[in-house]
Chain A
Amino acid sequence: MTEQEIYKKTFLPLHAEEEISLKRENTVFYTKVTGRKIKTACACVLGMLLLCNTTCYAAYQIYQTKHLTIFFEEGISQSEIDEIGKELNRLGDCAEIELQMEYVNADQAWETFCNEYLDDDVKEKFDDNPLKDSANYQVTIKFFSNTDNVRKQIENIPGVRMVVDKRENAD
């Protein structure tokens, strides 16, 4: 028996389905559902979900971020200010908030105020720093929990005179 005869006998038992329909089954809108089409559809759905998720997350981030200015009691010493800083850092260590803080001393506060509101000639009229008691912490807090609770905790730190939300201030 030749190789060809053996080969033919080997593959002879393979048969297609008895009846072959000329109408497609498993169709959606007259289109055969192939893996590639399913993958494309899944990618589109996933893309839309990601886009939606990203937008919602961005909105969440904006909503949850607060810029607070923390003012100290008059006559507070530098060591007490440092203590307040440590206390704020301890708040930042807790899992529910993400804290970024910058200490602004009285001179920096005055400089910022002048730059924003005063002309140079007016500024020169002040010999002494009128904001000498206005050293503060500029704090950006991303809240992942109840914002009021965290703010109350900051207000209760000894030596803190006032907590001002920049947005409230602007309003």
Chain B
Amino acid sequence: MRIDTEELIIKYKDDLFRIAFHVCQNKEDSDDAVQETFIQYHTSIVEFQDEIHIKAWLIRVVINKAKDLRRSGLRRFYIPLEEYMETLEFETPETKNIFYEVMKLPERYRMVIHLFYYEEYSIHEIAGLLKLSESNVKVRLSRGRKMLKKIIQEVLS
């Protein structure tokens, strides 16, 4: 099956942007990764089983695109993270601090935490998306959750 690209953009662009942001840590590359991902979907002839399959495909592609952009060595003008955070509408000052602290965590933990907490994927699904073993995902998730707990406790206290 195929879903119209415009429809997918409306539905998943922000989710993909958040995932790309965990890799690139800047708005410009994250936007590019998302755009490239949808272009790849739009121009591909891949047939999908269902929408879940499409979303998983999009996530895998956006992670790869984001990594490519990060590796590319092209140094464009980036808005620094602190400056970009000022443009975001955080619900409370605490969430803003948590955001900043989470962004300091190593990417291998951030990505697993995000897919687990935000996208609500299971360990098995995350292993498939990141092409890791389940035990590896478990370890990363366990360590990442500990780090996240510590951050939340420190910020909220």
Contact = CB atoms under 8 A, between A and B. Distances in A.
A16 B42 contact: no
Interface stretch (A18-26, A102-110, A124-132): A18-26
B58 interface: no
B72 A20 contact: no
Nearest to B39: A22
Contact of B74 (A6, A8, A13, A34): A34
A13 B17 CA distance: 11
A31 interface: no
Contacts, number: 83
A14 interface: yes
B interface: dominant SS: helix
Contact of A36 (B5, B17, B72): B72
A20 B74 contact: no
B36 interface: yes
B118 A11 contact: yes
B99 interface: yes
A165 B145 CA distance: 83
A17 interface: yes
B117 A20 contact: no
A4 B16 CA distance: 18
Contact of A7 (B73, B90, B91, B117): B117
A25 to B, nearest CB: 9
A3 interface: yes
A113 B8 CA distance: 90
B14 A22 contact: no
Sorting the interface of chain A by its residue count into under 10, 10 to 19, 20 to 34 or 35 or more gives 20 to 34
B76 to A, nearest CB: 9
Sorting the interface of chain B by its residue count into under 10, 10 to 19, 20 to 34 or 35 or more gives 35 or more
A20 B9 contact: yes
A166 interface: no
A12 B99 CA distance: 10
A35 B29 CA distance: 12
Contact of A16 (B34, B36, B102, B118): B34
Contacts of A20: 9, 13, 31, 34-35, 38
A17 B31 contact: yes
B113 A7 contact: yes
A16 B88 CA distance: 12
A10 B16 CA distance: 16
B67 to A, nearest CB: 12
B89 interface: yes
Contact of A15 (B14, B69, B118): B14
Nearest to A6: B152
Contacts of B68: 34, 36
A32 interface: yes
27 contacts: A3-B148, A3-B149, A3-B152, A4-B117, A6-B98, A7-B113, A7-B117, A7-B148, A8-B117, A10-B99, A10-B102, A11-B18, A11-B99, A14-B18, A14-B21, A14-B88, A16-B14, A16-B16, A17-B31, A20-B13, A22-B42, A24-B39, A32-B36, A34-B72, A36-B68, A36-B73, A39-B73
